[in-house]
Structure 1
Amino acid sequence: MVKRLTCILLVLASSASYACDAPPPARSDIDANSYYSDKHHSVIDPALRARNIANTKPIEDFLSQVARDANGQGDAACALTWLSSWAEQKAMLGKMSSEQAYYVRKWTLGGMALSYARIQQQATPSQRALIEGWFKALADATIAHSDAKQGGRNNHYYWEGLAVTAVGGVTGEARYLDWGRKVLYHALGQMEADGALPAEMERAGKALHYQVYAATPLALMASILDVHDARLDTLVAFTVASSADPSGIAKRTGFEQEPVGSREVTVAYNRHEGKPPTVGKALWQPRLGGSLDVPNPLEHLK
């Protein structure tokens, strides 16, 4: 009797440890603001940044929790419940207060789709229909906004491409994969012969930072789309070399560069190209689906 009671208590304790928190209220509108104070968008205004962080925190927290649950730090069922809740409420399909708000939406969409890819097989048919239908609505909104914009294409275009590509990966819709492929080839076509991305080189003291930030979604997109291209090899080589020695970009831009690592670029690229993994501390980024060191199911591994 005592043994049986102990077993029951252990089962109850185990079940309680995986109890899901109730999903937070969905955010239909996104209120976000730019926080750079100079023409190069390289100097941060602390007050503006603090306001932006406060206003977008509910969305960032939602994405972070979904990533944790989808990556095995919680219960996959909780991630699916949270995604279904926001899908049912058509989250992030309302008013966007600024360009920064559109940035937040595409980063969140990409991260959600990449996290969802890890747990998609555990979703019920009704959850799949609801979540994937919402992702497609968000991808359509992202494409519409992106295609309507005029002017140069920079890292934001590439992150839009990753978000839409990830939606294509989890839904199997070729039109999203095709749009992502268009973005990838456009980026490689913009690249200078040595691998530098011109728009990112205009970011003064943050040029290296944004070279890395722009190359990251491109490398992951290439793996998802199974694209092998010598120009991408050049892009990655330049980014890695510049991260190790920023003096070339400093000379090119006339500004000393903030140091930044390049493993976020190489981790998926190396898997796709069959190269040895780079050694370093574990990488975690909810906007990239959580753990970068564990291959995403959408990646093509060599």
Structure 2
Amino acid sequence: MVKRLTLMISLALAGASAMAACEAPPPARIDIDANSYYSDAHHSVIDPVLRARNIANTKPIEDFLAQVAKDANAGGDAACALSWLTSWGEQKAMLGKLSSEQAYYVRKWTLGGLALNYARVQAQATPAQRTVIDGWFRTLADATMAHSDAKKGGRNNHYYWEGLAVTSVGGVTGDKRYLDWGRKVLEHALGQMAEDGSLPAEMERAGKALHYQVFAATPLVFIASILDVHDPRLDTLVAFTVASSADPSGIARRTGFEQEPVGSREVTMVYNRHEGKAPPPRGKALWQPRMGGSLDVPNPLEHLK
């Protein structure tokens, strides 16, 4: 009995020590102040002054996501990640005033990243933490869908990233409503795609057309994996994206602009796992907080073949 009591005390002290090792979460950002930073009609030329202003204003949110990702992945501290998520969830972070369309972009990228990182540590959350975090994510997903559905005009990569954010919330909460909305986004994107696999809205981005083709394909392959969707149109999309990344000359001729070189491993890493294909050639470790941290390690929400 004494030994058992001693063990219980030791475990409790160890847990308290681990909690003490976590840095206190920063005050939640309720409002989001962000601004667009392109200076041309194609949204392809960056204004460095506007870009710097946007980075400075959104840094607290980006830093929060980066730290959660660090703690949620291998070598981090799951208890710290959950503590930070609970803190911002209790304060209803990112549910205040959003200054611009760019602010909505920041919110959906952050929501998707937080949900995907949460998926890695969700099993270690207490019931109370799950109630707070899941409820916060649902509210953010509802706000994301409401804003997206109210928008008029064309749908481009931003719609697809909204789809990933909402689908990821569906994955961690088990709420079919969010999964169905993500399925609608994926279907819409594949319906927009040209026969060769290019995405017309992204081809309008002048010298950044290749960049945005890759940027748009990335959330789509992740949505497909979470929903376990296999679609030959997605195969065409990925094939075009990978080939264009290796040789941008086709897009350059199409757009009349030389293309910035962009790799496609973020696309193929997730896509190949879902389709049971060999992983892409090894290279620098892929780390993207907006996609759950380490892309080299499958996310619990992915369906692997």
What's the TM-score, normalizing by structure 2? 0.94
Instruction: Please tell me the residue identity of whatever aligns with 2:127.
Output: P
Q: Distance in 2 between matches of 1:74 and 1:295?
A: 16
Structure 1 portions without partners, runs of 5+: 1-7
> Match of 1:190?
192
Q: Distance in 2 between matches of 1:233 and 1:154?
A: 19
Q: Distance in 2 between matches of 1:19 and 1:222?
A: 38
> Match of 1:48?
50
> Match of 1:21?
23
Q: Distance in 2 between matches of 1:17 and 1:63?
A: 19
Instruction: Please tell me the residue identity of whatever aligns with 1:79.
Output: A
> Match of 1:269?
271
Q: Is the 8 A contact 2:19 2:80 kept in 1?
A: no
User: Is 2:255 the partner of 1:236?
Assistant: no
Q: Distance in 1 between matches of 2:19 and 2:278?
A: 38
> Match of 2:207?
205
> Match of 1:60?
62
Q: Distance in 2 between matches of 1:177 and 1:54?
A: 34
User: Is 2:298 the partner of 1:283?
Assistant: no
Give the aligned length.
292
> Match of 1:103?
105
Q: Distance in 1 between matches of 2:75 and 2:164?
A: 24
CA deviations 1:83-141 (Å, max 9, x no partner) are: 00000000000000000000000000000000000000000000001000000000000
> Match of 1:298?
301
Q: Distance in 1 between matches of 2:216 and 2:188?
A: 13
How far residue 180 of structure 1 moved from its aligned partner, in angstroms, is 0.1
- The sequence identity of aligned pairs, in percent, is 83
Q: Distance in 2 between matches of 1:299 and 1:75?
A: 22
> Match of 1:120?
122
What's the TM-score, normalizing by structure 1? 0.95
Instruction: Please tell me the residue identity of whatever aligns with 1:272.
Output: H
CA deviations 1:224-278 (Å, max 9, x no partner) are: 0000000000000000000000000000000000000000101010000000000
Name the Cα RMSD after superposition: 1.5
Q: Distance in 2 between matches of 1:116 and 1:204?
A: 36
Instruction: Please tell me the residue identity of whatever aligns with 1:301.
Output: L
> Match of 1:173?
175
Instruction: Please tell me the residue identity of whatever aligns with 1:122.
Output: Q
Matches within 5 A, 1:62-77: 62-77=64-79
Q: Distance in 2 between matches of 1:289 and 1:111?
A: 5
Q: Distance in 1 between matches of 2:213 and 2:277?
A: 22
User: Segments of 4+ in structure 1 off by > 3 A?
Assistant: 14-18
Structure 2 portions without partners, runs of 5+: 1-9
Q: Is the 8 A contact 1:215 1:236 kept in 2?
A: yes
Matches within 5 A, 1:77-96: 77-96=79-98
User: Is 2:220 the partner of 1:218?
Assistant: yes
How far residue 18 of structure 1 moved from its aligned partner, in angstroms, is 7.4
How far residue 281 of structure 1 moved from its aligned partner, in angstroms, is 1.4
Instruction: Please tell me the residue identity of whatever aligns with 2:300.
Output: P
Q: Distance in 2 between matches of 1:149 and 1:59?
A: 24
